[in-house]
Structure 1
């Protein structure tokens, strides 16, 4: 078996566990929905049992997701990403990266939320680019408004909050690095003559 296939198979268990948590199911609930024993499901999630089609197909059907989402195998021949929108804290979030990793890209549509911003902190580094609308960014003691075409980058350990600056929704591209990697747009260096 090739190393690439082995890598894909080792990621199936964590994906299954994450999907079960996202759907709010217990192992017992998933066992009832699929007809697969709880011990087999537990061993699949922990990597002690190799995934097979006979096991993955009923799980994919229970979660109503394509089999490729369970396996995480790269699509062959078609590089297009078909994001599945998710609702998160009133925002519509479209993941633009397929594979889990240190850097993740998202498109976010943020409606006007009103109220007082409540800045949060967490590990990571974020880069935001405003596609349309106006983004209000509260960063530590600064309160900024960014227009379409403007970008900001910041360490997420600083207290921060962002949302629509007015009554209209704002569309934003976000690059987020969990371990604090910095995202840069680099220009070609000047040639030395």
Structure 2
């Protein structure tokens, strides 16, 4: 509820749920985020639960760790400019460009996988959620459980992320992929043209 007497309280009241949603979207534990930010797991938990009022010194490392602008953490009022200012995030050898600005729900990313041989060692991962990806350019190597696929530009895949998986470039060129990820298992429902 808006508090006309203290608008700062309204802004800060929403930080905890946004922090929790961002951490869960990355499938990060409080302990992992603590290592990444230098804040204690206890402090992170109290921030997420709204039991601790966030300070700038706490919000800056959290914004960096989650790869979002500080304005997104505090839900700063819009400036009147409807354009999304994309800020690439480099993580584990990948370039990820967040395409959605809200925390929670289905998240969209453009991911650029480095050429095969320059990417991190293939390590199958599992986590809660559901993912859909579409190859924009290049060729992607996709490992799902015991099966392996090569997808070219214009091809898409959809899978349950609880199945061990890995995605990377299939050859000496980078692979550019559009990814939709739902931490709660939301699926991308694509309707045929005309529906």
TM over 0.5: yes
DSSP 3-state at the match of 2:14: helix
Q: 1:156 offset after TM fit, Å?
A: 1.0
Pair 10,131 (structure 1): closer, same or farther in 2 beyond 3 Å = same
Residue by residue, what CA displacement relative to the aligned partner does 1:113-132 show, whole Å, maximum 9, x if unpaired?
A: 43863322211110001111
CA distance in 1, matches of 2:129, 2:19: 25
Question: Structure 1: 5+ residue runs without aligned partners?
Answer: 28-38
TM-score, normalisation: structure 2: 0.69
Number of corresponding residues: 173
| Larger of the two Rg values belongs to structure | 1
Does residue 139 (structure 1) correspond to residue 144 (structure 2)? The answer is yes
> Paired residue for 1:24?
37
Does residue 87 (structure 1) correspond to residue 90 (structure 2)? The answer is yes
Contact 1:103–1:176 under 8 Å retained in 2 = yes
Does residue 148 (structure 1) correspond to residue 153 (structure 2)? The answer is yes
Contact 1:72–1:99 under 8 Å retained in 2 = no
> Paired residue for 1:2?
2
Q: Please show how residues 37-186 of structure 1 align to structure 2 within 5 Å.
A: 47-48=50-51, 56=56, 68-114=71-117, 117-186=122-191
Stretch deviating more after TM superposition (124-133 or 111-120): 111-120
What's the Cα RMSD here?
A: 3.7
Pair 8,160 (structure 1): closer, same or farther in 2 beyond 3 Å = same
TM-score, normalisation: structure 1: 0.70
DSSP 3-state at the match of 1:166: coil
Pair 69,86 (structure 1): closer, same or farther in 2 beyond 3 Å = same
Contact 1:44–1:50 under 8 Å retained in 2 = yes
